[in-house]
């Protein structure tokens, strides 16, 4: 069968090093994952709210890989910002990606590159991850002064190489599918049923 289904539902993400090998098998041309990785500032405006180890992490990141350009600080040398070659014989069939609200972070990055090349159809519900940008990479912990709750704050803006308009939402499915209360109670999977129909299996 010349069709492939990739299930990204409930996939909270990870690293581009995990999905780049798969992209090399799905795209017939050279591709770039990120246009840029950058941050707006190298100093925290309220350092007293952050543990000292976080400040060390921020300073280490600044010394190691960031360069100032156009009012932002850009990470240099990341291989995901350079052209990546496909494998010699990439998969040429249809690709269907299953997504839902828990498809986030690197799931959105992966989807964004496929969306840029019109290489896949998305089935399910709007994803939690954006196909154009996210914030990730190095993180610091903000400790709220009164509640003492800790909030993880990512420092790098990842701009995905995707020319599709960024509507400020997740990846929107080409084939929207929703669950009913009965589906949840009975353990039905209407998204999988929908893609099976698209494959001609139902």
The DSSP line for the chain is: --EEEEE-TT-----HHHHHHHHHHH-SS-B-SEEEEEES-SS-S-GGGS-HHHHHHHHHHHHHHEEEETTEEEE---GGGS-BPPPSS---SEEEEEE-TT--THHHHHHHHHHHTT--EEEES--SS-SSEEEEEEEEEEE-TTT--EEEEEEEEEEES--S---SS-PPPSEE----HHHHHHT--HHHHHHHHHTT--
R_g over Cα of the chain: 20
CB distance 123 to 195 below 8 Å: yes
Tell me: pLDDT of 41 over 90. Answer: no
Strand-pair category, 66-69 with 72-75: antiparallel
Tell me: pLDDT of 100 over 80. Answer: yes
Question: What is the pTM (predicted TM-score) of this model?
Answer: 0.87
Confidence of residue 137 (pLDDT cuts 50, 70, 90): confident
Name the least confident of 98-112, 131-145, 184-198: 131-145
Mean pLDDT calculated for residue range 73-102: 93
145-193 pLDDT per residue, tens: 999 999 988 888 999 999 998 989 999 999 999 999 998 899 999 999 9
CB distance 73 to 138 below 8 Å: no
Tell me: pLDDT of 16 over 70. Answer: yes
Average per-residue pLDDT for the chain? 91
Residues 6+ apart with CB under 8 A from 48: none
Name the least confident of 59-63, 66-70, 122-126: 59-63
Mean pLDDT calculated for residue range 36-41: 88
- Catalogue the long-range contacts made by 143-151 (C-beta closer than 8 Å, 24 or more residues apart): 143/49, 143/50, 143/51, 144/49, 145/49
pLDDT for residue 1 = 60
Confidence of residue 40 (pLDDT cuts 50, 70, 90): confident
Confidence of residue 39 (pLDDT cuts 50, 70, 90): confident
* Token digits of residue 165: 């308009």
Confidence of residue 68 (pLDDT cuts 50, 70, 90): confident
**Interatomic CA distance for residues 22 and 184, integer angstroms:** 31
Mean pLDDT calculated for residue range 1-9: 92
118-134 pLDDT per residue, tens: 999 999 999 999 999 99
């Amino acid at each position: 069968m010349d069709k492939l289904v990739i299930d990204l539902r409930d996939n909270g993400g990870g690293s581009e090093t995990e999905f780049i090998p798969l992209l090399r098998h799905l795209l017939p041309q050279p591709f770039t994952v990120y246009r840029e990785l950058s941050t707006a500032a190298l100093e925290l405006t309220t350092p007293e709210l952050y543990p000292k180890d976080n400040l060390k992490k921020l300073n280490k990141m600044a010394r190691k890989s960031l360069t100032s350009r156009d009012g932002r600080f850009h990470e240099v040398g990341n291989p995901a910002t350079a052209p990546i070659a496909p494998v010699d014989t990439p998969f040429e069939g249809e690709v269907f990606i299953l997504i839902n609200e828990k498809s986030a972070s690197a799931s959105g990055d992966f989807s964004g590159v496929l969306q840029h090349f019109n290489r896949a159809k998305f089935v399910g519900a709007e994803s939690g991850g954006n196909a154009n940008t996210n914030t990730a990479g190095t993180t610091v912990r903000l400790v709220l002064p009164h509640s003492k709750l800790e909030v993880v704050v990512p420092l790098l803006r990842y701009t995905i190489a995707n020319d599709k308009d960024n509507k400020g939402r997740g990846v929107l499915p080409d084939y929207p599918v929703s669950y009913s209360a009965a589906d949840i109670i009975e353990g039905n999977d209407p998204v999988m049923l929908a893609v099976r129909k698209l494959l001609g299996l139902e």
